[in-house]
Chains A and B, each alone.
Chain A
């Protein structure tokens, strides 16, 4: 079982797929759950505090908007923790939406530069045929994470289509 960072991190479909194929999804639900289950009422609904953007400084400098750094305080540690990642580009709003485009650019960049983990980088399907291929690619990638290292090598960083 691998810890798989998903993008869009809010995608329940993607999160579900990762779980169904035997891995642990790292997504917004996990990070937000940590925040909202912490006792006390800081800043609803996310319970972020002005301290969180400071934690985000590890990933984005002080010149970057506070919302980006606040979001990075949630997503950054998950990217660090990830053992694999799936990125879906140009996904439909209904598939999962990450609110801030600036954060999204940074999240994808940080994932892609983690050269020590396998990353599946896919475009969102536009018709049924592409949809089938889309699911097949994700399944193949997730299955490869269960294989011994030498067998799964061929899938690393090239498991899907750009």
Chain B
């Protein structure tokens, strides 16, 4: 790790009173980042929020506006920006959104925003903080567009573990299994991918890991790259979709959390990661498939034959979603309509909760296992009123991104 800490400017309202400031500091320390509060004067605050034109009543939000202006105008230097406000505060939600947009449009600084509760822990913040520092620290690596040599990428997700072997910019082997025991699942997918590729582990030039189990697997395999999934998935998405230049939006609806990333030339600008409840994730679709008595792979085609508008469904919480599901079936709705409604409900949740927090720029690329559920992609396309790209091997996005970026380390090793 580079000795020089990444300087992350904190624009916030409430964390010091909610008991989560220490968690923010802890998460930053884990990725060698240094949080700081941009210095502004009282006069700056008064002028800044009046010029900004948003009549926030809260003093801390006025201060955040002044600090954002100082960053954009260059009177304070930073490598990245972290915006944090209380979950449930409407005024903070408005200011948070506008500040993120303002910084994104007027500077090159990577920004991440987060709404916290008093239960927010450093572990929750780690992936976001890691992505911020990676973007600031590894721009050269993220600019890599071609995979070289033979590399292995492993993505240890909350639901599934995936592996990909790449050789000379081609995917030559894949492996996939539900995540049970992290190391065991990784070993299994690695063996499958190597077997399919007809390559021995000793022939691998570099290894990259991502996902929740990235540290455990990465340390075990002595991986060259251990990196969070936000930057890895963005890179993998634009690589597979052949959209490495220009703007793009990457949506990854995962088993446990969702990611929405606004990308410029393959490098994430703003991103959100979260999800209010499992009701807005792949987990709800898995549960729907189980309830309908079908395999998850059949859900997409089934949903395509249904009409989502005839079944009211609210998956804001997985319990409410299940209730809607059971009621809809009890009322005699067809399996097709219920499947379509479940897809629409998840798409709506992601649209309402997360896509409002990033600038949607076309093309929109959907990745991850859920992107194979045609009904979900269809419903998301309807909401965003655009044709969504689902690249080939989209379910292996993290592994592909890891394998691609890991090849950047080959030159530094004895081959």
What is the interface of chain A, defined by CB distance below 8 A to chain B?
A: 41-46, 48-54, 63-71, 74, 93-94, 97-102, 104
Contact = CB atoms under 8 A, between A and B. Distances in A.
Nearest to B24: A43
A50 B25 CA distance: 15
Contacts of A64: 88
Given A93-B42, A94-B42, A66 B59 contact: no
A14 B257 CA distance: 48
Interface stretch (B111-119, B266-274, B402-410): B111-119
Nearest to A73: B17
B119 A45 contact: no
Contacts of B45: 93
A29 B89 CA distance: 25
Contacts of A104: 57-58
A102 B88 CA distance: 11
Nearest to B46: A93
Contacts of A93: 42, 45-46, 59, 62
Given A99-B13, A102-B58, A65 B92 contact: yes
B56 interface: yes
Which 3 pairs show the lowest CB-CB distances between chains A and B?
A: A67-B14, A65-B86, A99-B60
Contact of B21 (A43, A94, A101): A43
Contact of A101 (B16, B19, B56, B118): B56
Contact of A70 (B18, B25, B60, B87): B18
B18 A53 contact: yes
A43 B16 contact: yes
B42 to A, nearest CB: 6
A101 B58 contact: yes
Contacts of A98: 59
Interface residues of B, number: 34
Given A42-B22, A52-B19, A99-B59, A69 B91 contact: no
A50 to B, nearest CB: 4
A43 B121 CA distance: 12
Contacts of B92: 65
A46 B17 CA distance: 7
B20 interface: yes
Interface of B: 13-23, 25, 42, 45-46, 56-63, 85-89, 91-92, 116-119
Given A45-B21, A53-B19, A93-B59, A101 B117 contact: no
> Most A CB atoms within 10 A — which of B18, B56, B87, B116?
B18
Given A93-B62, A101-B57, A101-B91, A65 B19 contact: no
Contacts of B118: 50, 52-54, 66, 69-70
B18 A66 contact: yes
> Most B CB atoms within 10 A — which of A54, A70, A98?
A70
A8 to B, nearest CB: 9
Contacts of A46: 16-17, 21
A54 B85 CA distance: 18
A101 B58 CA distance: 4
A102 B22 contact: no
A49 B19 contact: yes
A66 B87 CA distance: 7
B121 to A, nearest CB: 9
Contacts of A74: 17
A87 to B, nearest CB: 16
Contacts of B21: 43-46, 48
A68 B42 CA distance: 24
Given A66-B116, A97-B59, A98-B59, A51 B19 contact: yes
A100 B22 contact: no
A67 B17 contact: yes
Contacts of B56: 101
Contact of B16 (A48, A63, A69): A48
B62 A65 contact: no
A39 to B, nearest CB: 15
Nearest to B89: A65
Contacts of B85: 67
Contact of A99 (B58, B87, B88, B116): B58
A49 B16 CA distance: 9
A68 B116 CA distance: 12
> Most A CB atoms within 10 A — which of B45, B61, B88, B118?
B118
